[in-house]
Structure 1
Amino acid sequence: MHCTSASLLKINLLSSSSRASALPPSFLLPAFIQTSPFSSNPSHNARKDHNRNRGVSALRHTGIGKNQRLSVRVSALPQPVLSPARRSAVEVDPDHGLWAFFPKERTRLSTPEELNMRGRGWTIQELRAKDWDDLHKLWWTCVKERNRIATGEVERKRLGGRFGMYGEFEAGERLKEVKGTMSGVRFVLTERWYAWENARVQGMEDEEVDLYADVEMGERAYVPSEEREDAFSLGSEDDARSDRTRSLPPPAVSRSSRDVRV
C-alpha cells in the first residue's frame, strides 16, 4: 500500500481522539493541501514560435528542413581568384604617410647590412644647442625609427620561426643608439624646465622684473632700478612745480576809474 506523508499525518491525527481539541501547527497545514510531489525543476514545455529557422545552426551542424529554401544559390556565389597573375593590381599612393614606417627602399625587411649602416646617437652637448622645433622633430623621428625596428623584429620572428633570422643583433645595436638620443632629448628638456622655473621664482622676488608686463603692447618686462629712480625723481619734481604754482596767491584785480565810487 502506497502511503504519503499527508495520509500518515491524517491517520495519526484522527486516531488520537483525546487530542481533538489540539490543532496541528501552522507550518504543517500545507501538507494537507499539497497533492503533487514537490519539485524545483522547471517544466520543459515545447517552444511554439512558428520559426522555420529554429534549429538551424552552423556550430551544431544542423541543416535546413526539407521544405525550406535559401535565397542564395551555390552557382551565384563569387569565386576567389587564387592565381596572383589574374588578380587586379592595387593602386597605392607613392606619397602615402605610412611609407615612413618602412625602410627607404620600401621593402618588407631591412637586411643586416642596411641595419648596420648607422651613425652614433646625439649627445647632450649637441642637443643643448637645438631649439624646441628641432628637438620636437628629432623626437618623432626616433619614434618612427623604433617603430620600424620593432616591426622588423616581429616579421623576422614570423618568417624565421623558432630559429629566427639574421639581423637581430644589428637591430638591437641600432635601437640602443635611438634610445640614447631620446634619453638625451628628455634630459635637455628637463634641464630647460628647471632653468625656467628657477628664473620665474627669482623674477617674482625681483623688483626690477615685471612678469605681468604686456610686451606686445610695448610694456617693458625689465626696468633697471636706476631708471626707476630717475623716473621717480622727475615725477617728484613735476609734482613740486605744480604745487608751487598752486600755492601762489591769485593776482590782484585792477579796478578801473569807472568802477571806483566816490
Structure 2
Amino acid sequence: MNKTKQYCGFVAIIGRPNVGKSTLLNKLLKKKISITSKKPQTTRQNITGIYTSNKYQIIYTDTPGICFNRKKNIDCLIEYSYIEQVNYVELIIFIVDGIKFTENDSKIISKLIILNRPVILVINKIDNITNKNKILPYIDLIRKKMNFLSIIPISAKKEIGINSLLITIKKHIPESIFFFPKNYITDKSDAFMASEIVREKLIRFLGDELPYSVNVKIEDFNINKNNILYINGSILIKHINQKKIIIGKNGNKIKKIGIESRIAMEKIFKHKIQLKLWVKSLS
C-alpha cells in the first residue's frame, strides 16, 4: 500500500522592523505565537511557527527586524549578518511596508541576491495605500531589483492575500517527512510563550516609557490538581528607578498588565490561570 506523499520545509520571514512579520506569521498559522506591537524590534529572537495541514508541514521562522544603526537601538543587528542563518531554508519571505521601499530594503535585497535562495516578496499593509492604482507600477519597479519567485500584495492585519501566499508557499515546499509531530505549533516552551505574552503587554501599555533592556523570566509554571495553571513571572529591569514606571500609580499599570496577560494566556493554554508578577532590579 502506497503511503501518501508528505511535503515539509523551512521558510524564513525577514524584513525591516515593524513591517508586519510577526502578524503575518500568526495569520499563516491561524494561531498567535509571536507577539506584535507598533514598537520596532518587538521580536528579539527567532520564533519558530509550525503549520501542519494534511500532507504539508511548513516550519516558519519569524526573525527580528533587520536594523542598520546601533546608535538608535542597542538591540539592532548591524549589517544584517543574521540573514546568514537562513542558509538552510527552502524559501524566504521578504516583507516590505506598502510602497515605501527604502535604502535599507535595497541593502537586504543585495544580501539576498548573494544568498541565492528563492524569495517571495510580500508587499504588506496594502490596506493603508489610499490610491490602489499605485500598486501595479510599484510592482513593475520592484521586480527589476531581483528575480523574485513571486510578488504578492497582502494585508496581514486584515487577512487579505494570506491564502494566495500560502498556496504559493506550498508549491515550493519539497517532498519530505514531517520534522515535528502534527499537533506542534512552535518549538518554544509554554513558559517562553508566557514570558512573551507578558512582554507584549508591557510594550502595549508602557510604549516609549518601556526600556528596551526589560526582560521577563517565568519562575514557576505548574498545573495543580484542580487543573489551575499557576504562573509566577519576574519583570527584570536594569535600574531601580525603572520600577515605578512599570508598577504605576498605586500599582495600576502592573495590575492592568497582569490582567491582560492572564486573559491572553487562558486563550492560548486553555486553562484557568493564576498569574503573579514581580518587578526585580538587576542592579
More helix by share: 1
Which structure's relative contact order is higher, taking Cα pairs within 8 Å and 6+ residues apart? 2
More strand by share: 2
TM superposition score category, shorter chain reference: under 0.3
From the CA coordinates, give the structure whose radius of gyration is larger: 1
How high is the TM-score relative to the length of structure 2?
0.17
How high is the TM-score relative to the length of structure 1?
0.18
